[in-house]
């Protein structure tokens, strides 16, 4: 049962992927659309991470762009500093095609490194600051994000104010599959006992503690995982966008991610995916009217919040109607992945 | 079966399809037929077909003021050419603006979008970091890019000395201005010591500061204090106190006019009376209005254009008529980059990418509105005459002219 | 470092800190009463600066009437923002309100940019360009105005909150909204009054900043807004003396970091101080530790 489900899932994801490849091959998807799609994947990964921290665990964090920049600079630095040498050595050792294949693994390794470094910073920030509550935590995380930005602006080895040029070596394929992987990861985490523990902290921290849940441990865990995902997204961003600049990761970027998560629905995986897609598409769709773009977005945001204060999805997940009928909640809990 | 997961998947599929549709309609902006052959095609479009030019500019965000000025200049130039019947037997310029939100990553997106619109050339971005993010893309797609005001030397020539064949610029490079300012400080003002304060956010300012320092110290003089700030800072008083304590003969502040206007104002209020020098960022706006006419006395800056020059008055009045405000340095550069492109299209006799690139490279001597400049095919940098202007009771007075090397 | 240098830098820190304090007051009042981080506060300050600018340049008003007009206009703006955007959300989650505040902030920034263009505007000379020498220290006329306006407004605010009916009502609402309503206090009016006063203070800061630094633009409120928020949290958010203390600590920290030669690390220094203070004393410098009820 479990495996058939996986297979169906995988087949559908693969089918969509094949569809995009076919469409872009036939010229129906322009480069700009493809880049937009990659950006959507990046933002979905970011939003998933923040949703785990803010939506599921209930810790308000507005420093997510800081983690993203850490991941972006870690991956970008590795790729730009060692990429050329690794690529040359590999081509020599394995020939063109084999070398390129192994080089791709190197790039994936830089992404993993970016995610890992960001996660480490997540723990580092998480441990001391998680005793802060609500808005105090929010401002501390904003502060963290800004400190990261200022450090990067002052670090000559990372390009400082000129930015760090990184070759474009990651495209739609990588972004898409890593995004799916992140969805699966977060889905499984949230539906595991760890995830339940996180949700219990959101619902009532004191009650959770009374029930014997080590709240600090789970908060740090959520922070590490969320930061790691932000780092992964940053790595993809760095390897896709040709250049990374510290000011691309200022606190307005953190706001943007938070808006996606809240707009979609805190504590809903499908919701934050929806939020990321809606915001990115809206941003690009309005790019022909630059002076009106932000006005329209801000008005929509305010109106949205007034009429749907819990976001598009609330805490519920989007399901297929016929599936909902067939599925018992009990099965969901016991057999959930 | 787990219904949720299927739901997620389904949602993803639906959304992605939606995205494909939406970004297709939304990204379009100007209505351009998608069926035209890619820019690399050898068949020349028929006469009369419009020439698509992308304007990748800072229309919103922190540098919006510069981007909008540049855009005004570019539009003025293209509208003028179009009104005169276009180029090459009636081909009109069709400009497609794209906002890069004053951010490097968004500039890459904007360039990608413009590439999809089959533009033959991109004008902009105005700032160095934003240009850096577009180099690879335009090179891969054989599209020329002219930055009006990206001054960093490595935009056109990489650090290893190789040329970026598709990148051009309409402005000075950083090293030249810094040298001019340093020589002026030593030779005319007789300075033995100097202090430098520069902005670390854009690298325009740092580039000027570095070359000033190099020239100044190579002549055996000393830089007694270096201070940095971040563009948009309002309060410079602490660093001014530091500089005041060091007691330099001149202060070099090569950033944009808003920051430097505040700097001069606060320096004079702190009774720092020594000459203050700047770069062409000073000429791009109403710096006297910020710092005050009296405070601006004994300040000098390097510029590429002397706005009160009689030969510029046609442009100034046209600009004033079109936009109801005075032009600034960025609008002049925007106008000139557009004129460079127009000239190159004429010389190339069409819009074949390689021909256009080569025409720009071999533009040689080019007369813009700010004077005559010579383009070096080896570096794609224009050699321009620099002028040094002094502010006397709020009026810019011509002080010195420096011929390019 | 000479004593004169240190004194001069101290003065700069106090004048800078006064501005932060003035903006932080509005933040802290709004937070104290409805626990909302009003991210649009910095942008209300920007609007205030523009109103002041308009009064001075187009209506040729002197400084004080321009300041009062700006304060009045922004008080109105604050009430409108509260009624339109925040009031419908009073019953929903805090995050929804926060996102609305962010939306309002973008709306003010870009709406203003649309109306007045991003061009930097300058004030004509409003203050006399007098410079006083007090011992070795140089004091500008503008410094005196800033510090004086800040002190006057803070004193007024403290008096209002302590001794007037509306002040008492504010304190009651901030203590327990429902109980206050039961006692016959019109909570809506009290909240509107809070927004009006907070926004007027922001407008005063905006005009002062505009005149002192002589550059205003549509995005000028972002950084001071964030800094003022930091100041408010530093002092203990919701506590009026805390905002003053936080503003001064922030101003002095920034000046100190710049004075020792790390000017580009200035903001990082400010945020680092904030994080350290929060870790040591999670409710801010003057915050009381409230025990959470189960």
Per-residue confidence (pLDDT) for residue B372, from 0 to 100: 84
**Percentage of residues of chain A with pLDDT beyond 90:** 51
Asked if A277 reaches chain B (Cβ–Cβ under 8 Å), the answer is yes
CATH number reported for the structural domain that contains residue C19 in this entry:
1.10.3470
**Percentage of residues of chain C with pLDDT beyond 70:** 98
pLDDT at B401 over 80: yes
Residue pair B290/C214 in contact by the 8 Å Cβ criterion: yes
Residue pair A62/C230 in contact by the 8 Å Cβ criterion: no
Cis peptide leading into residue B125 (ω within 30°):
yes
**Cα angle for residues B233, C150, C262 (degrees, 5° grid):** 30
Mean pLDDT of chain B: 85
Asked if B60 reaches chain C (Cβ–Cβ under 8 Å), the answer is yes
3-state class (DSSP) for residue C60: coil
The structural domains of chain B, with segments of one domain joined by +, span 51-172+311-370, 174-303+387-402
Three-state SS letters, B355-398 = HHHHHHHCCCEEECCCCEEEECCCCCCEECCEEEEEEECCEEEE
pLDDT at A265 over 70: yes
Chain centroid to CA B87: 25
pLDDT at B11 over 60: no
Residue C52's φ and ψ, nearest 5 degrees, are -60, -45
pLDDT in tens, A109-139: 999 999 999 999 999 988 888 778 777 888 8
In Å, what is the CA distance from B184 to each residue of A203, A329, B181, B370, C25? 68, 80, 5, 21, 49
Asked if C115 reaches chain B (Cβ–Cβ under 8 Å), the answer is no
Asked if C76 reaches chain A (Cβ–Cβ under 8 Å), the answer is no
CATH, domain range B174-303+387-402: 3.40.50.2300
Judged by CB atoms closer than 8 Å, whether chains meet at B103 and A247 is answered as yes
Residue range B51-172+311-370 in CATH 3.40.50.2300: yes
Identify the residue with better confidence: C169 or A29.
C169
Residue pair A23/A249 in contact by the 8 Å Cβ criterion: no
Name the nearest CA neighbour of C257 among B256, A250, B248, B227.
Answer: B227
Per-residue confidence (pLDDT) for residue B36, from 0 to 100: 40
Per-residue confidence (pLDDT) for residue A1, from 0 to 100: 52
pLDDT at A334 over 50: no
Residue B370's φ and ψ, nearest 5 degrees, are -95, 5
pLDDT at A189 over 90: yes
Residues of chain A positioned with their CB less than 8 A from the CB of C294: 206-207
Q: Mean per-residue pLDDT for C272-278?
A: 89
**Two tokens, residue A156:** 């000559």
**Cα angle for residues B282, B286, B292 (degrees, 5° grid):** 95
Per-residue confidence (pLDDT) for residue B33, from 0 to 100: 38
**Two tokens, residue A25:** 């091959």
Count of structural domains, chain C: 1
CATH number reported for the structural domain that contains residue A161 in this entry:
1.10.3470
User: Is residue C292 in some structural domain?
Assistant: no
pLDDT in tens, B282-339: 877 788 889 988 899 999 999 887 777 788 888 999 999 999 888 888 899 999 999 9
Judged by CB atoms closer than 8 Å, whether chains meet at A306 and C100 is answered as yes
Asked if B270 reaches chain C (Cβ–Cβ under 8 Å), the answer is yes
In Å, what is the CA distance from B127 to each residue of B59, B285, B312, B372, C71? 12, 16, 25, 23, 37
User: Is residue C157 in some structural domain?
Assistant: yes
Per-residue confidence (pLDDT) for residue B7, from 0 to 100: 53
Asked if B110 reaches chain A (Cβ–Cβ under 8 Å), the answer is yes
Q: Mean per-residue pLDDT for A243-249?
A: 91
Asked if A308 reaches chain B (Cβ–Cβ under 8 Å), the answer is no
Judged by CB atoms closer than 8 Å, whether chains meet at C114 and A298 is answered as no
The single-letter DSSP state of residue B250 is: E
Per-residue confidence (pLDDT) for residue C112, from 0 to 100: 94
Residues of chain C positioned with their CB less than 8 A from the CB of B294: 129
How sure is the predictor about A328, in pLDDT bands with cuts at 50, 70 and 90? Answer: very low
Q: List helix spans (H) across B123-256.
A: 128-132, 135-140, 174-183, 203-218, 237-246
Per-residue confidence (pLDDT) for residue C127, from 0 to 100: 82
pLDDT at B343 over 80: yes
Asked if B82 reaches chain A (Cβ–Cβ under 8 Å), the answer is no
How sure is the predictor about C261, in pLDDT bands with cuts at 50, 70 and 90? Answer: confident
**Two tokens, residue C102:** 């962010």
A315-319, B125-129, B259-263, range with greatest mean pLDDT: B259-263
The single-letter DSSP state of residue B44 is: P
How sure is the predictor about C291, in pLDDT bands with cuts at 50, 70 and 90? Answer: low
Per-residue confidence (pLDDT) for residue C129, from 0 to 100: 78
| Structural domain span for residue A91 | 2-335
**Percentage of residues of chain B with pLDDT beyond 90:** 47
From chain A residues 248-267, the ones with a CB under 8 A of any chain B CB are 248
Per-residue confidence (pLDDT) for residue A117, from 0 to 100: 97
Per-residue confidence (pLDDT) for residue B236, from 0 to 100: 93
Per-residue confidence (pLDDT) for residue B301, from 0 to 100: 92
Per-residue confidence (pLDDT) for residue B34, from 0 to 100: 38
Judged by CB atoms closer than 8 Å, whether chains meet at C278 and A140 is answered as yes
Integer Cα distance of C250 and B87 in angstroms: 59
User: Is residue C215 in some structural domain?
Assistant: yes
Residue pair B128/B173 in contact by the 8 Å Cβ criterion: no
Per-residue confidence (pLDDT) for residue A329, from 0 to 100: 36
Count of structural domains, chain A: 1
Q: Mean per-residue pLDDT for B207-216?
A: 93
- C163 to chain A nearest CA, in Å? 30
Per-residue confidence (pLDDT) for residue A257, from 0 to 100: 93
Per-residue confidence (pLDDT) for residue A220, from 0 to 100: 93
Selecting from B68, B230, B237 the residue whose C-beta is nearest the C-beta of C12 gives B237
pLDDT at A333 over 50: no
Residue B372's φ and ψ, nearest 5 degrees, are -95, 135
Per-residue confidence (pLDDT) for residue C186, from 0 to 100: 93
| Structural domain span for residue C125 | 3-280
Asked if C116 reaches chain A (Cβ–Cβ under 8 Å), the answer is no
Per-residue confidence (pLDDT) for residue B31, from 0 to 100: 35
Selecting from C219, C223, C263 the residue whose C-beta is nearest the C-beta of B228 gives C263
Integer Cα distance of A62 and A58 in angstroms: 12
Judged by CB atoms closer than 8 Å, whether chains meet at A323 and B6 is answered as yes
Question: Scanning the structure block, which residue is given the tokens 């003022």?
Answer: C228
pLDDT in tens, B39-66: 444 444 556 789 999 999 998 887 888 8
Residues of chain B positioned with their CB less than 8 A from the CB of A160: 200, 203, 206
How sure is the predictor about A320, in pLDDT bands with cuts at 50, 70 and 90? Answer: low
pLDDT at C216 over 60: yes
**CB neighbourhood size of C2 (10 A):** 9
pLDDT at A287 over 50: yes
- B394 to chain C nearest CA, in Å? 13
- B104 to chain A nearest CA, in Å? 6
How sure is the predictor about B18, in pLDDT bands with cuts at 50, 70 and 90? Answer: low
Which pTM value belongs to this model?
A: 0.88
Judged by CB atoms closer than 8 Å, whether chains meet at B19 and A294 is answered as no
**Two tokens, residue C175:** 């203590």
pLDDT at C103 over 90: yes
From chain C residues 173-202, the ones with a CB under 8 A of any chain A CB are none
């Amino acid at each position: 049962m479990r495996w058939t489900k996986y297979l169906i899932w995988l087949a559908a994801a693969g089918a969509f992927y094949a569809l995009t490849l076919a469409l872009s091959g036939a010229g129906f998807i322009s480069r700009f659309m493809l880049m937009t799609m990659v950006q959507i994947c990046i933002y979905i990964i970011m939003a998933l991470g923040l949703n785990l921290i803010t939506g599921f665990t209930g810790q308000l964090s507005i420093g997510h762009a800081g983690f993203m920049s850490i991941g972006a600079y870690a991956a970008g630095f590795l790729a730009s500093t060692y990429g050329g040498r690794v690529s040359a050595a590999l081509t020599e050792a394995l020939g063109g095609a084999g070398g390129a294949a192994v080089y791709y693994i190197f790039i994936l390794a830089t992404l993993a490194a970016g995610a890992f470094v960001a996660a480490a910073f997540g723990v580092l920030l998480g441990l001391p600051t998680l005793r802060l509550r609500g808005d105090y935590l929010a401002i501390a995380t904003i502060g963290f994000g800004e400190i990261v930005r200022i450090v990067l602006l002052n670090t000559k080895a990372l390009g400082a104010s000129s930015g760090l040029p990184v070759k474009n070596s990651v495209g739609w394929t990588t972004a898409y599959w890593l995004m799916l992987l992140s969805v699966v990861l977060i889905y499984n985490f949230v539906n595991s006992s760890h995830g339940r523990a996180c949700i219990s902290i959101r619902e009532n921290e004191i009650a959770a503690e009374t029930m014997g849940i080590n709240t600090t441990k789970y908060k740090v865990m959520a922070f590490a995982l969320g930061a790691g995902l932000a780092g992964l997204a940053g790595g993809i961003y760095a390897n896709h966008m040709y250049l990374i600049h510290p000011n691309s990761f200022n606190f307005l970027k953190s706001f943007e991610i938070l808006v996606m998560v809240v707009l979609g629905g805190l504590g809903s995986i499908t919701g934050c995916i929806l939020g990321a897609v809606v915001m990115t598409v809206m941003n690009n769709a309005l790019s022909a009217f630059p002076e009106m773009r932000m006005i329209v977005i801000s008005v929509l945001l305010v109106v949205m919040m007034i009429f749907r204060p819990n976001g598009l999805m609330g805490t519920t997940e989007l399901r297929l109607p016929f599936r909902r009928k067939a599925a018992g909640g009990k099965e969901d809990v016991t057999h959930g992945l | 079966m787990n219904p949720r997961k299927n739901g997620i998947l389904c949602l993803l599929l639906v959304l992605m399809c939606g995205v494909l549709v939406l970004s297709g309609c939304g990204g379009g902006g100007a209505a351009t037929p998608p069926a035209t052959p890619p820019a690399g095609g050898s068949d020349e479009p028929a006469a009369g077909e419009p020439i698509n030019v992308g304007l990748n500019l800072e229309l919103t965000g922190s540098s919006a003021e510069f981007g909008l000025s540049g855009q005004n200049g570019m539009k003025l130039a293209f509208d003028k050419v179009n009104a005169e019947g276009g180029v090459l037997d009636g081909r009109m310029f069709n400009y497609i603006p794209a906002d890069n939100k004053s951010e490097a990553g968004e500039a890459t997106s904007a360039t990608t979008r413009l590439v999809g619109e089959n533009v033959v050339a991109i004008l902009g971005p105005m700032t160095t970091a934003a240009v850096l993010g577009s180099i690879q893309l335009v090179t891969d797609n054989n599209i020329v890019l002219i930055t009006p005001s990206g001054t960093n030397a490595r935009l056109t020539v990489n650090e290893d000395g190789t040329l970026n064949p598709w990148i051009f610029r309409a402005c000075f490079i950083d090293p030249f201005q810094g040298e001019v300012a340093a020589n002026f400080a030593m030779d005319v003002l007789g300075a033995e010591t100097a202090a430098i304060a520069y902005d670390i956010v854009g690298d325009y300012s740092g580039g000027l500061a570095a070359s000033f320092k190099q020239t100044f110290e190579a002549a055996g003089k000393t830089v007694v204090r270096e201070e940095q700030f971040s563009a948009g800072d309002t309060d410079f008083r602490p660093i001014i106190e530091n500089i005041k304590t060091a007691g330099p003969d001149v202060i070099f502040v090569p950033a944009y006019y808003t920051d430097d206007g505040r700097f001069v104002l606060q320096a004079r209020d702190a009774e720092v009376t020594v000459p203050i020098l700047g770069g062409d960022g000073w000429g791009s706006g109403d710096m006297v209005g910020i710092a005050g006419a009296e405070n601006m006395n004994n300040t000098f800056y390097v510029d590429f254009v002397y706005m009160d020059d009689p030969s510029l008055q046609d442009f100034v009045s046209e600009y004033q008529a079109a936009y109801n405000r005075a032009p600034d340095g960025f609008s002049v550069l925007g106008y000139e980059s557009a004129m460079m492109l127009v000239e190159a299209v004429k010389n190339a006799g069409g819009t074949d990418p390689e021909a256009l690139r080569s025409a720009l490279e071999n533009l040689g001597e080019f007369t813009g509105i700010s004077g005559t400049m010579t383009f070096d095919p080896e570096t794609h940098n224009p050699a321009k005459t620099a002028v040094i202007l002094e502010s006397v009771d709020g009026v810019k007075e011509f002080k010195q002219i420096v011929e390019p090397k | 470092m000479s004593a004169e240098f240190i004194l001069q830098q101290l003065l700069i820190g106090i004048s800078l800190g006064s501005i932060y304090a003035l903006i932080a007051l509005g933040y802290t009042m709004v937070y104290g009463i409805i626990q909302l981080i009003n991210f649009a506060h910095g942008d209300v300050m920007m609007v205030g600066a523009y109103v002041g600018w308009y009064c001075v340049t187009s209506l040729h008003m002197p400084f004080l009437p321009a300041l009062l007009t700006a304060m009045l206009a922004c008080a109105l703006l604050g009430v409108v923002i509260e009624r339109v955007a925040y009031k419908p959300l009073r019953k929903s989650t805090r995050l929804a309100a926060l996102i609305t505040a962010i939306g309002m902030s973008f709306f003010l920034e870009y709406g203003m940019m649309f109306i007045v263009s991003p061009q930097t505007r300058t004030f004509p000379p409003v203050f006399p360009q007098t410079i006083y020498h007090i011992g070795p220290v140089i004091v500008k006329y503008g410094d005196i105005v800033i510090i004086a306006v800040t002190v006057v407004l803070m004193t007024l605010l403290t008096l209002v909150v302590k001794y007037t009916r509306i002040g008492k009502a504010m304190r009651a609402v901030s203590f327990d909204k429902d109980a206050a309503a039961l006692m016959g206090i019109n909570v809506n009016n009290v909240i509107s009054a809070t927004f009006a006063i907070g926004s007027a203070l922001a407008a005063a800061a905006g005009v002062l900043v505009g005149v002192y630094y002589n550059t205003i633009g549509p995005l000028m409120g972002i950084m001071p807004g964030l800094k003022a928020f930091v100041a408010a949290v530093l002092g203990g958010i919701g506590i009026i003396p805390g905002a003053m203390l936080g503003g001064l600590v922030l101003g002095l920290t920034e000046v100190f970091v710049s004075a020792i030669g790390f000017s580009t690390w200035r903001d990082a220094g400010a945020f680092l101080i904030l994080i350290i203070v929060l870790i040591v004393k999670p409710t801010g410098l003057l915050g009381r530790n409230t025990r959470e009820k189960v």
